[in-house]
Amino acid sequence: MDSLDAIILGIIQGFTEFLPVSSSGHLELGKAILGDDSIPEDSMLFTVVLHFATALSTIVVFRKDIWEIISGLLQFKWNEESQFSVKIIISMIPAVIIGLFFEEQLESFFGGNIAFVGAMLLVTALLLWLADRSKNTGKKVSNSNAFIIGISQAIAMLPGISRSGATISTSVLLGNDKSKAARFSFLMVVPLIFGKIAKDVLSGELFSNTIDYTSLSLGFISAFVCGLIACTWMIKLVRQSKLSYFAIYCLIVGLIAIGFSFYN
């Protein structure tokens, strides 16, 4: 992967992370179009690093929310912030289990299987279409809701299943308010991404001789900068726009991806 390809993929990640269209799916499509021939493990690592960049941009944009949560925990009070943090922890359980026990199986899906990505984008389109028909409420995410949403997040580790799309759709289908669902969705992934990066650092996977650190760094920077730009206005777009618009987009891209796989 050359530097220009890494920058392009970073831009794709930055602008698709906060929309329910599957940033990992778009990354796999981008890699295929650019002719990236990375082995699945390196391809997965590049994807994780770009997600780490957008997780940092999420922290910058939601810094007040995150500080309130941390302050609530440090005060050892059972207030709204500490309750929210417990829900975040509960939502992490399914994805942590998948990451710890099925990492190799998960990596196998990040080797340029475009037909699979296309099929998963069709699943994302269906989820968004169903969620768009649910009534918006003022209901907050409960602990049991958090675990179910966490299962959606774990499934969304597959490329093509939008993490934000799956989690927001699941939350809305459970009767939760769309804006509250969006906030929960964007914040619940931050600890997981940091945990994955920490695991890769401790295991030495970030210090492999096969890794092109220049491309990795350029991809990281472009994803972080674009993530900052995107997160400031795309979150509002997700909250106010109809999810059916994104469902149509995922349907079209999914069909194109499946068609592309037959002619590649």
Other beta carbons less than 10 A from residue 147's beta carbon = 15
Cα 89 to chain center, whole Å?
17
- Distance between CA atoms of 177 and 131, rounded to whole angstroms? 11
Q: How confident is the model at residue 248 (pLDDT cuts 50, 70, 90)?
A: very high
pLDDT, the chain, mean = 81
Q: Which two tokens stand for residue 27?
A: 């990354």
- Distance between CA atoms of 52 and 190, rounded to whole angstroms? 8
Over the stretch 196-230, which tens digit does the pLDDT of each residue have?
Answer: 777 766 666 555 556 677 888 898 999 999 988 88
**pLDDT reported for residue 39:** 45
CB burial class (10 A; 0-12, 13-18, 19+) of residue 233?
A: exposed
Q: Give the residue among 61, 69, 70, 77 at the shortest CA–CA distance from 17.
A: 61
Residue type for position 203 = S
- Distance between CA atoms of 138 and 123, rounded to whole angstroms? 27
Q: Which two tokens stand for residue 209?
A: 């001789």
Q: Which domain holds residue 110?
A: 3-263
pTM, rounded to two decimals: 0.78
- Tell whether the model's pLDDT for residue 123 goes beyond 90: yes
Q: In the chain, how many domains are there?
A: 1
DSSP state of 9: H
User: What region, left, alpha or beta, does residue 10 occupy, with left being phi > 0 and alpha being psi -120 to 50 degrees?
Assistant: alpha
